[in-house]
Structure 1
């Protein structure tokens, strides 16, 4: 999948969550965003916003989630001392459950697949070797040099 295909697929995910029946380019994406903003406004009127804490696995997931929040004019933050991958936001529960979190999960899965494809291709081309999975073996009682524990690279 090339970058343009990725962009179209990510836009299509937003259009799906907005309930659109047709896909167009920028107009459909903006219309989808406006429908989701209207849904958020209705959720805000129906129930108060509550503070949510999202603990994301890594920096790229955090950046994706923060971008999604900002797209819907939500204000992400974190408290001093929280991990860099923690994101706080005040938002109605209904919006989180019906729109925000499912949409984020689909966007993240799509982006993860694309990043995996790119990484595999670059590793194959540069190192001229596969970087895939590992064979799983039964652990032996003697793990490192002299059996004292796991082997680690020298400093």
Structure 2
């Protein structure tokens, strides 16, 4: 899968969340998403501090980019690990927008990185990239 193909796949996932895939409807959906974000900001729902822990650096980068895309600000408290991502927002924003998008996009990212890794290792190190099989106890000699 090429870089352009993965970017196109991400755009299609975003279009799914917006309920359309035609350019005009997508623009309208983006406007609707902006209005939804404005409603969420004006809604009486309390803003909470959310803490996420992501040890995979690529998935963490994706999540931080999604947070910023929605006009939010990721941060960490002093002495928190680099795997920690903090954000202040409403439960509705996390449950209805941020987390579902992250799950879909992280699956695409994981599949792409797995495919690329297997291809590179298979071409440059050894063609058999399968997992090591289980074996009964063998003598150590």
The TM-score range, normalised by the shorter chain, is: 0.7 to 0.9
How far apart are the structure 2 equivalents of 1:56 and 1:81? 16
User: Which one of the candidate residues 83, 88, 95 is aligned to 1:85?
Assistant: 83
2:14 is aligned with 1:17: no
CA contact (8 A) 1:50 1:90 kept: yes
CA apart distance, 1:8: 0.7
Q: Which has the larger radius of gyration?
A: 1
Deviation readout 1:7-31 (Å, 9 max, x if unpaired): 0110111121223x22439x94x65
Q: Deviation of residue 45 (structure 1)?
A: 1.8
Residues 45-100 of structure 1: CA deviation (Å, up to 9, x unaligned): 22122110011131111111011111111000001111111100011101110111
Residues 34 and 136 (structure 1 numbering): CA distance in 2 closer, same or farther, change over 3 Å? Answer: farther
For residues 80-138 of structure 1, the C-alpha deviation after alignment (integer angstroms, 9 at most, x for no partner) is 11111110001110111011101001000001100110110011111132223221345
Distance 1:23 1:59 in 2: 33
SS of the equivalent of 1:90 reads strand
Q: Distance in 1 between matches of 2:133 and 2:8?
A: 37
Separation in 2, partners of 1:39, 1:56: 27
- Structure 1, unmatched stretches of 5+, are 146-155
1:34 to partner: Cα distance = 4.0
Query: TM-score under structure 1 normalisation?
Result: 0.79
Is residue 44 from structure 1 mapped to residue 5 from structure 2 by the alignment?
no
Q: What secondary structure does 2:64 align onto?
A: helix
Q: Considering only aligned residues, what root-mean-square deviation do their CA atoms show, in Å?
A: 2.4
Unaligned runs of 5+ in 2: none
Q: Which has the higher contact order (CA 8 A, sep 6+)?
A: 2
Judged with a 3 Å threshold, the aligned counterparts in structure 2 of structure 1 residues 133 and 35 are, in CA distance, closer, same or farther, namely farther
